[in-house]
Amino acid sequence: MRETILVLDFGSQYTQLIARRTRELRVHSEIKPFSTPLDRIKQAKPKAIILSGGPASVWDEGSPKLAPEAFGLGIPILGICYGMQITVHQLGGKIERSQRREFGPANLRVIDKSDLLSGIPDDEVWMSHSDRVLELPPGFELIAESENSPNAAVRCLNLGIYCTQFHPEVIHTKYGKEILSNFIFKIAKCKGSWTPKSFVETKIKDIKEKVGESRVICGLSGGVDSAVAAVIISRAILDRLHCIFVDTGLLRLNEAKEVVESFRNMGLNLIHIDARDRFLRNLEGVSDPERKRKIIGREFIGVFEEKSSKINGAEFLAQGTLYPDVIESVSVKGPSATIKSHHNVGGLPEKMNLKLIEPLRELFKDEVREVGSELGVPIEILNRHPFPGPGLAIRIIGEIDEKTVSTLQHADHIFIEEIRQAGLYDDIWQAFCVFLPCRTVGVMGDERTYENVIALRAVTSLDGMTASWARIPYELLEITSVRIINEVAGVNRVVYDVSTKPPSTIEWE
Ligand code: XMP
């Protein structure tokens, strides 16, 4: 049976980080709310439980608590920050209420190196708390201290409970990973067999069982999630997977051709639908961004349904749903939840009467890349910048026609080419051009010109929720501007967008 670590979430901003750290150590983890009932905890048969931090004080009315019996299950527990305080509080120790916050680095002095802190030198750890532990519950002992938190790390050998006031999951705790590793391997006795390879093997088996002899339909966008989902399903059921790729005409330059070629090279059974005219026709005269999104979503579903209804024996629709979309958690939902909320094909499954198959729903984005790499998905697909469902339609401000799409595609191609040339593509979250519907005066040779403006947008971000404009070199801006104005007909001015998100958004519409 697969080893799992249950991360019980008390609302910390770091909860997902804890889950990711255990996975980096090759042990699968699942995040569940702190209020998960005891029988569900037992059912999950976790090798260990980690209690996250959280914003509450144990003294708050209705403060979040763990089912008390969970402390006596004999399953090793690691309580972090609030997870430590609630453990101490529930087991009869004393927590001192404090308004003063200890935030930032602290020096840890290790007292006992026999298990959790084995091999850990005295070094910096990351603190972020107000309340602190004053008295330990019976059976607990001190294993490390810091100046402001005399009880920085404690344990109860009888119950197999370990607690840290600091956060081992954040990188500022220099030996945090080693501490988690001690907990997972030395204390919880995990083996660490959850690798991309083992994930792929198990998934292929699951998909075979689930799908049986029937067929699966998968919409390919060219993005990483749908690509990896499709490849893993095709490994299980071969050409009973039918991939549908809709060319809306609103993709990047040459992208449709490249997507079709690379997926066919990977052996996928691919239906390529050229719907460029249909999309352009329906978007004619439309300038409002939300109407554009709605029209594109509606047409996409239309095209997709028409084609898929002709595939006999299809019972399943594949989707590239990721873990942050489905975590049952008390903290804020992950970034992709927000990105998906305005995804234009969200209505697909309800309308189509197909069962869903979501092979990536246990994975974080970087894990999808690892799995994709294990499956031999080309690196250009795995590392491609995110691209919005409505495509270039929301990067052409105002009305759209074939000519503006083509102008934008060419400008965009130059910008991306120059970014790649400068070796900066992977450092940037997203880079693209925007077509502005205004004309400005210029001079070329002896001639006065009156032509369009292209805006360059390049941002750095961790998750697309917030973003800064990328500090790309002036030389890169210069060569991009010169090339766009010289090579793209109808453009005589290039500007660089220096707005952060918030208050701006990444896309202009
Ligand atoms: P914003 O512009 O909201 O973008 O800062 C955040 C991220 O979401 C992408 N985005 C979309 N993706 N359909 C999508 O599938 C959309 O309508 C859409 N609008 C924005 C955007 O490219 C960025 O990565």
Asked whether the beta carbons of 225 and 360 are under 8 A apart, the reply is yes
Which residue, by CA, sits nearest to atom 11 of ligand 1? Answer: 388
HEC assignment per residue over 73-90: CCCCEEEECHHHHHHHHH
Residue ranges lining ligand 1, Cβ < 6 Å: 293, 339, 342-344, 386, 388-390, 430, 464, 501, 505-507
- Mode of pairing for the β-strands spanning 4-9 and 48-51: parallel
First to last CA, the chain: 48
Q: Say what the pLDDT of residue 329 is.
A: 63
Q: Say what the pLDDT of residue 100 is.
A: 84
- Mode of pairing for the β-strands spanning 48-51 and 94-96: unpaired
Ligand 1 atom with the smallest distance to the CA of 344 is 13
Distance 251 CA to ligand 1 centre (A): 14
Which residue, by CA, sits nearest to atom 12 of ligand 1? Answer: 388
Q: Which of the listed residues 225, 397, 507, 508 should we mutate to test ligand 1's pocket, taking the one with most ligand atoms within 8 A of CB? A: 507
Which residue, by CA, sits nearest to atom 22 of ligand 1? Answer: 388
Q: Say what the pLDDT of residue 348 is.
A: 61
DSSP character at residue 429:
S
Distance 507 CA to ligand 1 centre (A): 6
Of 98, 106, 180, the C-alpha closest to 147 is 106
Asked whether the beta carbons of 81 and 53 are under 8 A apart, the reply is yes
Ligand 1 atom with the smallest distance to the CA of 465 is 6
Distance 146 CA to ligand 1 centre (A): 44
Taking the C-alpha atoms of residue 53 and residue 385, their distance in angstroms, rounded to an integer, is: 33
HEC assignment per residue over 298-330: HHHHHHHHHHHCCCCCEEEEECCCCHHHHCCCC
Within 351-496, strands assigned E span 355-357, 430-444, 447-460, 468-469, 491-496
DSSP string, 238-295: GGGEEEEEEE-S-SSTTHHHHHHHHHHHTT--EEEEE-HHHHHHHHTT---HHHHHHH
Asked whether the beta carbons of 182 and 116 are under 8 A apart, the reply is yes
Ligand 1 atom with the smallest distance to the CA of 429 is 24
Asked whether the beta carbons of 81 and 128 are under 8 A apart, the reply is yes
Question: 341 is written with which tokens?
Answer: 């909320």
Amino acid present at 69: E
Q: Which of the listed residues 339, 344, 395, 461 should we mutate to test ligand 1's pocket, taking the one with most ligand atoms within 8 A of CB? A: 339
Ligand 1 atom with the smallest distance to the CA of 504 is 5
The residue assigned the tokens 């009467």 is 353
The residue assigned the tokens 């970014």 is 419
Q: Which of the listed residues 288, 296, 301, 506 should we mutate to test ligand 1's pocket, taking the one with most ligand atoms within 8 A of CB? A: 506
Distance 51 CA to ligand 1 centre (A): 33
Exposed e or buried b per residue across 422-443, where buried means at least 16 C-beta atoms within 10 angstroms of its C-beta: eebbeebbbbbbbbbeeeeeee
Active site residues: 81, 167, 169
Taking the C-alpha atoms of residue 499 and residue 504, their distance in angstroms, rounded to an integer, is: 6
Torsion of CA 35, 39, 40, 42, to 10 degrees: 110
Asked whether the beta carbons of 12 and 147 are under 8 A apart, the reply is no
Distance 326 CA to ligand 1 centre (A): 19
Kindly give the confidence (pLDDT) of every residue in the chain, 509 residues in length, as a single tens digit, with 9 standing for 90 and above: 899 999 999 999 899 999 999 999 999 999 999 999 999 999 999 999 999 999 999 999 999 999 999 999 999 999 999 999 999 999 999 999 988 889 999 999 999 999 999 999 999 999 999 999 999 999 999 999 999 999 999 999 999 999 999 999 999 999 999 999 999 999 999 999 999 999 999 999 999 999 999 999 999 998 999 999 999 999 999 999 999 999 999 999 999 999 999 999 999 999 999 999 999 999 999 999 999 999 999 999 999 999 999 999 999 999 999 998 888 766 544 333 333 334 444 456 566 789 999 999 999 999 999 999 999 999 999 999 999 999 999 999 999 999 999 999 999 999 999 999 999 999 999 999 999 999 999 998 889 999 999 999 999 998 888 899 999 999 999 999 999 999 999 999 999 999 999 999 999 99
Taking the C-alpha atoms of residue 233 and residue 316, their distance in angstroms, rounded to an integer, is: 11
Q: Say what the pLDDT of residue 342 is.
A: 45
Torsion of CA 358, 364, 370, 376, to 10 degrees: 30
Asked whether the beta carbons of 376 and 267 are under 8 A apart, the reply is no
> What pTM, to 2 d.p., does this model score?
0.87
Distance 336 CA to ligand 1 centre (A): 10
Which residue, by CA, sits nearest to atom 3 of ligand 1? Answer: 505
